[in-house]
Structure 1
């Protein structure tokens, strides 16, 4: 199991600590929160809404959003690419999840200090960037799974292979609607654009589910 060095904690707190999301929440079952979190864990969730419906249809996965966990001033936070790239209290992140869709994963292997330092240099520059509604593979704007993938890439870890747009299910009505809204039709969609979806990260062979906290049953 992965053990991130203290420098990884500094990376996250330094780069993203000052920016905190203030989002409304819907309370989810406490059982979904019982993970033994570590800095650097990847958290995934399913959300409601047209874009989430399209992501589910395109990928065949229940996961529509992801971020990276870190601890800041004794509190668990999540780095995530929303609008803009920012940090959100972990409890709020979990409460946005559709019931039964919140999961936490971590790398099987450790990450060295030099790799973490490189990731820090990249991550520091991302705070405040706009969310990329067109899912383009560049650093001008970022979407959630792109952000997570590239953060780990900076540490020398390729979480999963990139895929071209054309490899996803683009024929579902929910997907077509998003394509029409954001590209003006499929003819304008860059079918060979590389992409990574939350579901692609969830199935990475480099990850294992983070251990859950065991609770004693009432007799």
Structure 2
């Protein structure tokens, strides 16, 4: 009986060790996969590409419902010193390595869109202006109230304004807050948390869905 127990414990030990090794191997494989994605993207994606994903939070769910879209977050791709970044408005506005940004989204799924004829329109001087304007917003606080000012910035506002101020391109028409689906209970909860009874229905707004639907953009990657 004692011999059987010893054998059992030994087998369990081997199983645990094997599981740990497998998990480490899987972790290394995932890390390697992201490195490959980042390296490939340097050839696949270009400065000015716009990237979309779904994040998981109560606010993100409200954004998806209000805008009737599967996307709740977006950013603009900039390549610096051979590395691919997503310039995004979170807390605060910052540059995030592409593989990290992908990992922050739901199920690592995302879509990349590009300005049609970007190779002709987004010249070196235009991209310089876009990046220069973008830098003026770096480290700005995230705008929880979605106000149309540069004091604080939210994700789709950042992308829209970089194109408008840097390239004089309006990717889509702006809307008012009242143009979105605000009646859903999840959306109502967020609105009441943020504004109380003073909801700014006439505030100018740009949502990720508006950028995604822009007829000026074409899809270059989609794993949804």
Gaps of 5+ in 1: 1-26, 213-219
The one of 165, 176, 187 equivalent to 2:177 is 165
What TM-score do you get using the length of structure 1 for normalisation? 0.77
Q: Does 1:145 align with 2:145?
A: no
1:1-219 equivalences under 5 Å are: 36-99=44-107, 101-109=109-117, 110-154=121-165, 155-185=167-197, 188-210=198-220
Structure number with greater Rg is 2
Gaps of 5+ in 2: 1-29
CA distance in structure 1 between the aligned counterparts of 2:59 and 2:45, rounded to whole angstroms: 28
Note if contact 1:62-1:101 (Cα within 8 Å) is conserved in structure 2.
no
What TM-score do you get using the length of structure 2 for normalisation? 0.75
Deviates more, 1:92-101 or 1:142-151: 92-101
Task: Say which structure is richer in helix.
Answer: 2
CA distance in structure 1 between the aligned counterparts of 2:164 and 2:141, rounded to whole angstroms: 20
> Shift of residue 117 of structure 1?
3.9
Q: Kindly tell me the number of residue pairs found equivalent between the two proteins.
A: 182
User: Which is bigger in relative contact order (C-alpha 8 A, separation at least 6)?
Assistant: 1
Deviations 1:131-168 (A, max 9, x none): 00000001110000000000000111101110000010
